[in-house]
Amino acid sequence: MKLPAHDATDRSTHPDPAVSPPAHHGVSPADRAGQHDTEHRIMLPRYTAGPLRQVARRLLMALLVMVATVLIVYSDSAGYHDNADGKVDFLDAVYYSTVTLSTTGYGDIVPYSDSARLSNVLLVTPLRVLFLIILVGTTLEVLTERTRDQWRLTRWRSALREHTVVIGFGTKGRSAVQTLTATGLANARVVVVDPNPKVVESATAHGYAGVVGDATRSDVLLRAEVQKARQIIIATQRDDTAVLVTLTARQLNRGAKIVAAVREEENAPLLRQSGADAVITSASAAGRLLGLSVLSPSAGTVMEDLIQQGSGLDLVERPVVKSEVGRGVRDTDDLVVSVLRGHRLIGYDDPEASPLKTTDRLITIVRARPNGSGA
């Protein structure tokens, strides 16, 4: 198998299991354990407000509780006694509310009427508890964050079915996901696997779930629920890594559709032998598009438009509708390029393509719809 040249970027972002890791000079065992945990972390999309906004919201809630307490005390100020002058004015009400909510309670102002004591029992005490909850909300959030994340992860695992796993979220992986989402695939049905935590964070920022780890390891792919996936896209930086990932993914999921990208065309047969249903040679495909654009810039523009879903013309696959059964290829409403009959792809000009059968599928060129479905 011909391998591309290894560079520092590929080694850092896509480690290969055949290459021994560097020695951990000056790194403690605890730090190495933390790095091991990072390599197997699952990251789900988060939809939370910024820290300043959260602090401002909690301060506003605490202020509202304070205002409510002041109004309750001042409305029944006659039922309170101030040891200093015997009267409770508005400033005394604010002072009493402050020391009461903070549980300081100096005892210089006390409720002595039945109504004042009843309002303390029914209103001021619950407000005191609420005020303390707001103040310690940050601590409680930290304590419950792990439990909440574990609950979200469990629910995510149980609900994930027939999803798409994208291994490698570089230019190829991102473009593949953008094409799928343009045709109607929900972001929640995409799981990205990449060894670089920053890359996975970028994926989760777009609403995709992410797994940090080396996809050549079966335990990492199992965390992505690859055994329940409907389709797997392999867009790694190196061809040898793509082969190992394909072998592992096919072993875990016999029925999923696996599409892999390779740099060198001579490695494509090995990917197919490893279990890939389709292999895209990125270097050759780009070179052919460059050559076509030189011969005919307009033809190159059309080809680029066809592979970019959601705008202009789209190349889509669809089943044969009932009204088209028994008719010729040229009698359909869409521009048919090829007919997929079983595992055989028949050109539109092949006499065997017509008449169309119920089990056929058509590869057609259609005008992209406004909603980006393309079909």
The per-residue pLDDT for 50 is 57
Per-residue pLDDT at 352 exceeds 60: yes
Per-residue pLDDT at 246 exceeds 90: yes
Say which DSSP state 337 is in.
Answer: E
Q: Average pLDDT of 359-373?
A: 76
The H helix count followed by the E strand count for the chain is 14, 13
The per-residue pLDDT for 113 is 78
- Max mean pLDDT range (58-62, 83-87, 239-243): 239-243
* Percentage of residues in the chain having pLDDT higher than 90: 23
What single string gives the DSSP state of each residue in 193-228?
A: EES-HHHHHHHHHTT-EEEES-TTSHHHHHHTTGGG
Per-residue pLDDT at 56 exceeds 70: yes
Q: How confident is the model at residue 17 (pLDDT cuts 50, 70, 90)?
A: very low
Per-residue pLDDT at 192 exceeds 60: yes
Distance CA 189, CA 175 (A): 16
Per-residue pLDDT at 96 exceeds 80: yes
Q: What is the pLDDT of residues 128-148, one digit of tens each?
A: 788 877 777 666 666 677 677
pLDDT, the chain, mean: 79
Sequence-distant (6+) residues with CB within 8 A of 230 are 162, 163, 164, 256, 257
The per-residue pLDDT for 225 is 92
The per-residue pLDDT for 191 is 94
The per-residue pLDDT for 32 is 44
pLDDT higher at 233 or 77: 233
Q: How confident is the model at residue 242 (pLDDT cuts 50, 70, 90)?
A: very high
The per-residue pLDDT for 138 is 62
For residue 281, the number of C-alpha atoms closer than 13 Å in the C-beta half-sphere is: 14
| Span of 17-26, 108-117, 262-271 with lowest mean pLDDT | 17-26
The per-residue pLDDT for 139 is 65
Q: How confident is the model at residue 3 (pLDDT cuts 50, 70, 90)?
A: very low
Contact 192, 200 (CB under 8 A): yes
Sequence-distant (6+) residues with CB within 8 A of 278 are 257, 258, 259, 260
Q: What is the pLDDT of residues 293-324, one digit of tens each?
A: 888 888 878 877 777 776 777 888 889 988 88
Amino acid at 70: V
The per-residue pLDDT for 169 is 92
The per-residue pLDDT for 13 is 43
Nearest to 133 by CA among 72, 52, 65: 65
Q: Average pLDDT of 4-18?
A: 41
Exposed / middle / buried, residue 235 (Cβ in 10 Å: 0-12, 13-18, 19+): buried
- Max mean pLDDT range (80-89, 112-121, 194-203, 361-370): 194-203
Contact 332, 324 (CB under 8 A): yes
pLDDT higher at 152 or 341: 341
Contact 168, 235 (CB under 8 A): yes
